Amino acid sequence: MLNTVAGGLIGLLSGIHAATWGMYKDALHEGFEVRKYLRSILLGVGIGAVSGSILPFNAATAVGVALLFGVDYVVERAVAEIYKTFLRQEDQSKYTIPMQFAVSGRVVEDRVLRAAFGLGYLTLMISIVGLLVSYQHSLARHLSIVEVVLLGALGGWVSAVGGAWKDAPVEGFQPLKFFRSPVIAAFWALVLAHLTSDLVIVMLASTGYTVATTETYKTFFFPSHPRGKFANKPVRFPAMLRLRQRGIPLYAAIWLLVLAAFALSLSRPAPLGPTQTELSNE
């Protein structure tokens, strides 16, 4: 029960975090909608409660906060993006880059076909998780740091390919932008490997932190630079220029809390490496 409650609270924080940068970057063009802001928060709470109750660590600890925040983040983002990309029906004329699934920049209008692509994408995600589980259970040795970093960064490669598929037909292929997510994911995988030896948790959490890191950088370091999806589109809600600032203190406070959890966790050395088989035999 404690893990479920703690997981829900961590999911609440990750949901607020994601909802806040989403509101900040979109509000000038779409305005502020309570429904959209609460979507990530409620999703985060639900995902966090479930994750906290089933994942093999204590969510009510500094390590639990550091790991679960990243896991909740990526699962919430994946659910939201699958819905927006493959299921939601929306007027795409307000976007420079289509937000619904498109091939070579052209939206797939057939909803059944689009949903089928979404099912294929979800199957790919589940397959990656399954392969990581199988690989780790098959080992009779410790994972090397190279393995942890490379396999933990898989989510970053998926994110990079997905981003290029969506953006490149409009913006052109940008190598630095493409490799940004895998590199950041590898960094987070290296850090997270000091907290857990579970490859799936490392991969999920590192991907979540990659999203949080890149979105923080793009959203708050370049606040006057519109996102690609709104490039060359007029600012329809100028009043949001000041109103959106109200979310920054809470956003920064959540980052500080999560980084403090990392600092506490990393102050207690942990091995990079028993395999899952070794852990289950202890």
Give the Cα separation of 35 and 230 in Å (integer).
Answer: 21
Domain spans, the chain: 2-281
Q: What is the mean pLDDT of the chain?
A: 89
pLDDT per residue over 161-171, tens digit each? 999 998 888 88
pLDDT per residue over 183-218, tens digit each? 999 999 999 999 998 999 999 999 999 999 999 999
User: What value does the mean pLDDT take over residues 223-234?
Assistant: 78
Confidence of residue 280 (pLDDT cuts 50, 70, 90): very low
Give the Cα separation of 170 and 84 in Å (integer).
Answer: 19
Confidence of residue 95 (pLDDT cuts 50, 70, 90): confident
Pairing of strands 102-103, 106-107: antiparallel
pLDDT, position 225: 73
Instruction: Please answer whether residues 193 and 209 qualify as being in contact, where contact means their C-beta atoms are separated by less than 8 angstroms.
Output: no
Residue 110 confidence (pLDDT) above 50 = yes
pTM to 2 decimal places: 0.91
Half-sphere exposure of 160 (CA within 13 A, CB side): 20
Confidence of residue 56 (pLDDT cuts 50, 70, 90): confident
Confidence of residue 180 (pLDDT cuts 50, 70, 90): very high
DSSP three-state, residue 108: coil
Residues 6+ apart with CB under 8 A from 151: 132, 135, 189, 199, 202, 203
